[in-house]
Amino acid sequence: MMHPKIMVVDDEPDTIDLVKIILESEDIEVIGASSGFECLELMELEKPDLILLDIMMPDMNGWETFHKIKEKDPGLPVAMLTVKSQEFDKMLGLHVLKADDYITKPFSRKELIKRTRALLGSKAR
């Protein structure tokens, strides 16, 4: 059986490494992208089941990247993964953009696994 595959888009390599360590221990394949541009390039190639997307990145921020992801693949679940924990940002992410989830850093191992599995649904066995 194929393992679910997620892409983590963050300009901080430590965040990508941390997510990789946590989720790969749960048999979830993790691909890292360090920018919105890299994410959009890798999407075609890797066909992730879920994208965890940082908001504050240089060049193309997470909001812009989110729009471009949804233009390419409207059905692909995208969760924001960010230090921006203000209610305004959460409402923008969840209710205006319609992100599938909004996970704030720092997150716990258990929270990341639970929320990722919920977003992957039947693909995460």
Residue 72, in any domain of the structure: yes
Residue 124 in domain: no
Per-residue pLDDT, 1: 60
* Residue 95 pLDDT grade (very low, low, confident, very high; cuts 50, 70, 90): confident
Q: Which domain holds residue 66?
A: 5-116
Helices 36-46, 62-72: inter-axial angle, 10-degree rounding: 20
The span from the CA of 125 to the CA of 123, in Å, is: 6
Rounded CA-CA distance 49/78 in Å is 9
In this structure, what CATH number is given to the domain that contains residue 105?
Answer: 3.40.50.2300
User: How many domains, in total, are found in the chain?
Assistant: 1
Asked, for residue 43, whether it belongs to a domain, the answer is yes
Is residue 125 in a domain?
Answer: no
Could you tell me the end-to-end alpha-carbon distance of the chain, in angstroms, rounded to an integer? 10
DSSP letter for 75, please: T
Return mean pLDDT, the chain.
Answer: 92
The answer to whether residue 61 is domain-embedded is yes
Q: What share of the chain is helix, strand, coil (3-state, %, to 5)?
A: 45, 20, 35
Separation CA 91–CA 69 (nearest Å): 19
- Whether residue 87 is contained in a domain is answered as yes
Query: Could you tell me if residue 123 is inside a domain?
Result: no
Once rounded to an integer, what is the mean pLDDT over residues 58-74?
A: 95
- Model confidence over 8-62: pLDDT tens digits? 999 999 999 999 999 999 999 999 999 999 999 999 999 999 999 999 999 899 9
| 121 occurs within a structural domain | no
